[in-house]
Amino acid sequence: MRPSLLNPLFADVTTLPGIGPKLAALIGKVAGPRVVDLAFTLPTGIVDRSYRPTIAEALEDRLATITLRVDRHEPPPPGKPNVPWRVLCSDETGFLTLVFFRPRADWLRQQLPEGEVRIVSGRIERYGSALQMAHPDLIAEAGQDDALPPAEPVYPMTAGLTGKVMRRAVSASLEKAPDLPEWQRPDLLARHGWPGWREALGRVHRPEGREDLSPQSVARQRMAADELLSNQLALALIRQRRAARPGRRFSGDGSLTSQVRESLPFSLTGAQEQALAEILSDMDAPSRMVRLVQGDVGSGKTLVGLLAMLTAVESGAQTALMAPTEILARQHYETIRPLCDAANVSCELLTGRDKGQERIAKRAGVAKGYVKVVVGTHALFSDDVAFDDLGFVVVDEQHRFGVHQRLALQEKGAQADLLVMTATPIPRTLALTSYGDMEVSQITEKPPGRKPVDTRAVPLQKLDRVVEAVGRAVARGEQAYWVCPLVEANDLLDQTAAEERYEALAARFGAQVGLVHGKMKGPQKDAVVEAFYRGEIKILVATTVIEVGVNAPDATIIVIEHAERFGLAQLHQLRGRVGRGDKPATCILLYKAGENGKLGETAKARLNVLRETEDGFLIAEQDLALRGAGDALGTAQSGFPRFRVADMQEHAALLEAARDDASYIVETDPQLAGERGQALRVLLYLFSRDDAVKLLHSG
């Protein structure tokens, strides 16, 4: 159960004064539905009200806070609503006109009564020879100078939500924040000069200057450290729990893996052998294995995964490989099936598209244990699929699945080992926050004979030349990908749509052009990809649906349109679709230049990184540095955690410290039973890591 002292924070925002259902819906868009979501929505900027001149001193285009006397109201003439309402004001140094368009007369006269002194704050403008201020954003009674903060926080906004309402709601959420027990170590608090949790929360929402918005400010550091500790402690508890649960030992006798190795026309790279050795060592241990294998596109992860699977089969178990899409599952199956045949091991493909007798027959083979290697999509963990003895599970591109899907498949086998593979190189900081519960292996070498892809950045103005180059490649019998950011034309986004580009290329090359995108139905999509794979289609126009898992050895060119719109890691993934055969390959990054004919600095830096290296791990780190954790690797759409306060670049040192502290905590107080342990339970609930606390209760 969540500690009762946190209940006010986890209440709906409608429990705050003045927040009804309509405002709650708007606040939900920018923050979330609960009071705690508001409290953790940090200011993105400030309104500086420290400039407080007289009227004569006031500078044009400056935000000024001025004490003045209200002299006279000048309403617009009757029947002329477009004429502004003017309020003439003065101080001992000069005159200032306040301008309002379509105001409520009663409200305005109440706010600015003639003859009274008021404090107004807004931007100073010059209209002819006179100074004016249009729609002051703050009006206060005289004598309230001390109540006016020198800086006001600025929060994320949405249509219909004003800054004033948002500030009032956040302020109300802070009043609900209780005093919580201290979970940070005293030595850390002293070393960094960190305030207590509640004080830190108040300080980040009451910035006095721009330096208080910095991720390195003391208050933000404190809150980031809390969030990162909750993340690392949750992962450490999961890891500890898993280590305590018995697994199965798979030693294998090499009878099947040796046959596969003999059938290969090449030897494994040193990096593949190293990764495989680490996996086999885990499989031979008594505890349950959970290991992540990272390897660039084409580094040979699937083969390493298969050799591990066959080691489990040698020990009598069944194995499963789960892929995020049918295209990728089918491709894995086509890669694995001949190798399984060489070892005389039954292999089957199971997807949601299997129907009728075929599906019944496949399911029966799996349930009775005849099928030893099963490749499939999420259909593998549907209720009607049962395994006879599932001992080893491989999950490809884990971040495209939820954790619960991964666990659902793993639970289909008693104490099944788990191997997670990804072709998306993950920066160390993201790996720690997402996969901190796993051991990690990296395959850093490319197979021998792989040629580097010639990468060029070309402005969209030279589109015709690019089309000519693709035409020459097709005439030589080669194939090309053409990637667009959108499926269909969109008036709001000035980007070429795949459908539009397909029509233009089909007009030129006819039936040699195919189209595939995420909105197409599965069978339709597979038919196009299959035709491209067989060489019947020479140019495949696509969205990023082809980012993972289309393999065509004759594809030598990939054109990525509006490359400046893609993340570095995503561009690297797409580039990996070519250069898989023995012919030289080219990646053309088509970009739209700015009005000055040049790329923006960040876009230019990203494309330069891609041109200079094919090291996916280096590219991933650069992507994180250039775009931040929210966008790198498309984390907004994937299984990577979203942090409210912590910043992976700015707080990397705090992350390392949190990981070390979490390891120490689970070693010294694994049940979180001590005084600090009880406080840490509150921390886990505060950051919604409830699952980790449930692990403690379940033993």
pLDDT digit string, tens, across residues 40-91: 999 999 988 889 999 999 999 999 999 999 999 999 999 888 899 999 999 9
pLDDT digit string, tens, across residues 5-32: 999 999 999 999 999 999 999 999 999 9
Instruction: State how far the Cα of 615 lies from the Cα of 348, in Å rounded to an integer.
Output: 34
Amino acid 638: pLDDT? 42
Instruction: State how far the Cα of 317 lies from the Cα of 609, in Å rounded to an integer.
Output: 45
Percentage with pLDDT > 70 across the chain: 88
Instruction: Name the residue among 476, 483, 533, 474 with its Cα closest to residue 509.
Output: 474
Sheet strands (E) in 298-453: 318-322, 347-350, 373-376, 390-396, 417-422, 439-443
Phi, psi dihedrals of residue 590, rounded to the nearest 5°:
-85, 120
Instruction: State how far the Cα of 298 lies from the Cα of 452, in Å rounded to an integer.
Output: 12
Which pLDDT band, with edges at 50, 70 and 90, does 279 fall under? very high
| DSSP conformation letters of 602-654 | HHHHHHHHHHH---HHHHHHHHHHHH-TTTGGGTTTSSSPPPSS--TTTTHHH
Amino acid 631: pLDDT? 41
| CATH architecture classification, 214-450+644-699 | 3-Layer(aba) Sandwich (3.40)
| Residues in CB range of 438: below 8 A, 6 or more apart | 239, 290, 291, 292, 420
pLDDT digit string, tens, across residues 484-503: 887 555 544 445 688 889 99
Which pair of structure tokens corresponds to residue 260? 């596969």
Instruction: State how far the Cα of 148 lies from the Cα of 497, in Å rounded to an integer.
Output: 51
Tell whether domain 50-148 is in CATH 3.40.50.170: no
Amino acid in the structure at residue 550: V
> What residue segments make up the domains of the chain, in order of their start?
4-46+163-207, 50-148, 214-450+644-699, 454-613
Which pLDDT band, with edges at 50, 70 and 90, does 538 fall under? very high
Weakest-pLDDT range from 313-327, 465-479, 520-534, 666-680: 520-534
DSSP 3-state of 403: helix
pLDDT digit string, tens, across residues 510-532: 999 999 887 788 778 878 888 88
pLDDT digit string, tens, across residues 131-159: 999 999 889 998 776 667 788 899 999 99
Amino acid 695: pLDDT? 67
Instruction: Tell me the mean pLDDT in the region 448-464.
Output: 83
Amino acid 492: pLDDT? 42
Sheet strands (E) in 284-410: 290-295, 318-322, 347-350, 373-376, 390-396
Instruction: Tell me the mean pLDDT in the region 439-465.
Output: 82
422 against 124, higher pLDDT:
124
Instruction: State how far the Cα of 376 lies from the Cα of 349, in Å rounded to an integer.
Output: 6
Query: Distance of CA 318 to CAs 248, 301, 309, 389, 422, Å?
Result: 13, 20, 8, 6, 22
Query: Distance of CA 279 to CAs 235, 359, 446, 540, Å?
Result: 21, 32, 19, 37
Tell whether domain 454-613 is in CATH 3.40.50.300: yes
Whether the model pTM is above 0.85: no
Which pLDDT band, with edges at 50, 70 and 90, does 402 fall under? low
CB 301 within 8 Å of CB 328: no
Strand duo 318-322 + 390-396: pairing: parallel
The answer, yes or no, to whether residue 643 has pLDDT greater than 90, is no
CB 151 within 8 Å of CB 46: yes
The answer, yes or no, to whether residue 598 has pLDDT greater than 80, is no
Fold matches, 50-148 and 214-450+644-699: no
